[in-house]
Structure 1
């Protein structure tokens, strides 16, 4: 583990309000510089005292977790910190990520609901998740039992991308029976937590988890929820972050429909089919597409200009990466596109997303083609 990661972990484990630690990072430019900053700088950022020297040592458990393949620590100053998450009222200082961090940039819809849903609620969660995943949208949820599990599993079955946000550390699946599903998601999707890997589940952490789930998604769909459901907390945090809230109506005799009906009365968009969400998605994703273009330009070492990074094939810039030609009209998977273009999967994912948002590319079951 490098010294910057060790310093960032020390700041994460220091606890307390996120604001002062974020200001300290921005003021100093790195976690390592922050730890060595004078006491006056700490006080100016909102601390009473500097972090004591013993608390600056890296935790052995954190180090061991980071050394495992596929595990990452993405801090506030990291260029891959998800742009949508920066916009919420209280963004986390850092994210512990299992899977490729770039997947956190993929346009996502959060699907949430009751831990004890009806049979109809489970069917709706699966249907919406499957359709969204097949259309190339990431399905995000909280890895709880019930609606969350149905959404994650349906996205995996559809061969799509799914994102799980934890209310505890990666090494503390909750409930423990979710450990196999967590491992499956980490293998093909991404699992994220703001808590160090050994953090046990605590009641107060789950509402905090919900703000990250809402913040990573362009919108939140509530399938079934009682009036005091945690899903309503997620929906309210989504609305507070300026995101769209969707809700499924249900029978007036079903107590699990009352939360959805309340959301609709409060201004949530009533939806009856996944297509209604897909139609609403492109305007919501405009800002994300622009952020992806900027990040791609940075990662490819390209000049930042006003011309698009993925130009139209008949523009004066032609097809500089050869991606349009590589796509053709037949569905092509990512491995084949990597082989045809010589680009990395991470770069291709960003470029394909921009083209998808431009309405030029279709994606189905993880395979891409020119849009007819």
Structure 2
């Protein structure tokens, strides 16, 4: 098969388009003929060696994809060749206490496709049958590929961790990112008043079109003061953040007394300043978040099919231009998802 393979750690130039062995499905697995694969910041961290630095090379990156079931392994039921599916990138043992409690993203053997095993920048991928779900009707393969990782991440942050409810002021950082595009929509769906931040006026305009009630340019040094002004001096009750060290102190100051902050990444750096007095005196809760239970993909897909949530695709490139896709993502030149079309 054709695939984009990471042969070393480094810049986008380490991604090579070429031939790679086609995988075969084993028991309880399916092989999917990929039609589209979406990029995530996780792919950049894998490429640079920040995520899973001991990963064996060469390696195929990519967590998200949509496509068609092309082969089924022994024991698979309920799936047939030709089914159009989206791939859930969270992999777990399926047998431990966490998995059986519906907390599979806390499984001690938890993995993410493209980070721990070969991913989706390819014509084919093999995954457990439990990791595919029906593609929503009416979506293109490119739109469907843009859903899983970011919408799962945003769902756990907004719904499971923060418990957003009507009346909450919800601050969503970096509105143009895939996770935040999803979080804006999910927070609105659950009744929140969304304040979205971004570093350009164009991205702020797009965030308003997506449903944000208020927008703030976090390129301004005192951006958090504007958040407090927009909330009558109170600050945001709930915060969706993955921006990392550069903005973390501002995030703390933008949060209301008793507020909750969910963190799912650190795109500007892993080591930030934590003003402890703000945390204990104002009784803030800081909640780590990675992905979500596989079960959460089903309500997401239903809501997409009902038109209540929608993926946002900012750029489509052919598979062989994956390196250019990484550049677009790193330089933050796209609002929404960068998607690779696979022929």
TM-score (structure 2 length as normaliser): 0.29
TM-score (structure 1 length as normaliser): 0.27
Return the structure number with greater strand share.
Answer: 2
Q: Which has the higher relative contact order, 1 or 2, with Cα contacts under 8 A spaced 6 or more apart?
A: 2
Return the structure number with greater helix share.
Answer: 1
Larger radius of gyration: 1
